Amino acid sequence: MAATFGLQKGLKVLSNNVFRFIQQTLLNHPIHTSKQVREY
């Protein structure tokens, strides 16, 4: 149970970070998003 809970918590944190990153990218650079992705 503990391992499953830790995995779920980790996935939730990871998805939250990804969502936040995407949201910030879209808000800050709505036009240059595709360029930024290519540079990375």
Q: Which residue has the tokens 């939250």?
A: 16
Cα separation, 35 vs 28, in Å, equals 13
Sign, CA torsion 37/25/19/34: negative
In tens, the pLDDT along 1-40 reads: 678 989 999 999 999 999 999 988 888 766 655 565 565 5
Q: For position 33, what pLDDT does the model report?
A: 53
Q: What is the CA radius of gyration of the chain?
A: 15
Q: For position 28, what pLDDT does the model report?
A: 78
Q: For position 25, what pLDDT does the model report?
A: 84
Tell me the whole-structure pTM to 2 decimals. Answer: 0.51
Q: For position 40, what pLDDT does the model report?
A: 52
